[in-house]
Amino acid sequence: MFSVFCDDGRVFEAVRASTALLVIDMQRDFLDSNGMCAARGADISHLAGVVPAVERLLAAARESATTVIHTREGYAPDLHDVHPPKRARGSVGTPGPLGRFLIRGEPGHDFVDRLRPWPGEPVVDKPGFGAFYRTELDALLAERGISHLVICGVTTQCCVASTLREATDRGFWCLTVSDACAAIEPAHHDATLAVIRSEGDLFGWIARTDDVVAGLRGG
């Protein structure tokens, strides 16, 4: 058993063997200065700024033998798994400095070097925002007996929030690490955290990296 002290004074308690650190989409297309977001003119400083926090979470999880699972958003080269509304936005598959945006196998689809998975850590490739959509994640968690998720990554209002909602509906106990998530627009990050806290903490717990690391190492 380990405990994490959360922002609102509550305590997130979990058994290490049934807990996974879920690292969402720490990919070059989102975080690299030559990736999709930057190439489209976005300021990626807030996204790249959470890399050290995610590094710390990974180190603590690995040291404590907590399950680590990574996700990547990406699509087939022929775009057969891109639904029409997403295709109409015109981003996926567009050529860029790191290859076609969000296409599996292209350099931009890959993880940033500092956050590469270790051997044996599962990678869930997802053709959408939520990590449960058309993936093996649900089965993977069931096989490992996982009931509690510690979630970090990018972007807060999109892939992190989509995954959190999917996990909540499936009955997982979820902790979002606030300063290890980010959005391009800080207001979107803040608004998402407010929604998680809404209606009596509707979508679980929120804590900061320092407290999660202390819990993982001290439990």
pLDDT tens digit sequence for 56-98? 999 999 999 999 999 999 999 999 999 999 888 879 999 999 9
Domain, as residue range, for 17: 2-32+43-75+122-218
24: nearest Cα among 164, 165, 119, 214? 164
pLDDT tens digit sequence for 178-209? 999 999 999 999 999 999 999 999 999 999 99
Residue 143 lies in a domain: yes
Owner of token pair 């009931």: 147
Residue 111 lies in a domain: no
**Is the pLDDT assigned to residue 136 strictly greater than 80?**
yes
Query: What pLDDT is stored for residue 218 in this prediction?
Result: 87
Residue 97 lies in a domain: no
Residue 96 lies in a domain: no
Residue 156 lies in a domain: yes
Question: Using 50, 70 and 90 to split pLDDT, how confident is the model at 219?
Answer: low
Domains held by the chain: number: 1
Pairing mode, if any, of strands 123-126 and 11-14? Answer: unpaired
Which residues make Cβ contacts (< 8 Å) with residue 133, sequence separation at least 6? 126, 127, 162, 166
**Is the pLDDT assigned to residue 30 strictly greater than 80?**
yes
Find the Cα–Cα–Cα–Cα dihedral 182, 185, 187, 193, rounded to 10°: -20
For 195, the token pair is 């929604």
- Averaged pLDDT, 37-59: 97
Q: Is the pTM of this model over 0.85?
A: yes
| Percentage of the chain modeled with pLDDT above 70 | 100
Residue 160 lies in a domain: yes
Residue 99 lies in a domain: no
Pairing mode, if any, of strands 173-182 and 148-154? Answer: parallel
- Please state, in angstroms and rounded to a whole number, the distance separating the CA atoms of residues 149 and 49: 22
Neighbours of 134 (CB within 10 A): 11
Query: What pLDDT is stored for residue 1 in this prediction?
Result: 86
Q: Please provide the DSSP assignment of 19-57 as one string.
A: EEEEEE--BHHHHSTTSHHHHTT---HHHHTTHHHHHHH
H or E stretch at 192:
helix 186-201
Residue 142 lies in a domain: yes
* Domain CATH for 135: 3.40.50.850
Query: What pLDDT is stored for residue 48 in this prediction?
Result: 98
Query: What pLDDT is stored for residue 102 in this prediction?
Result: 98
- Averaged pLDDT, 142-170: 98
**Is the pLDDT assigned to residue 121 strictly greater than 90?**
yes
| Residues that are catalytic | 25, 126, 159
**Helices 209-218 and 51-63: angle between axes, nearest 10 degrees:** 10
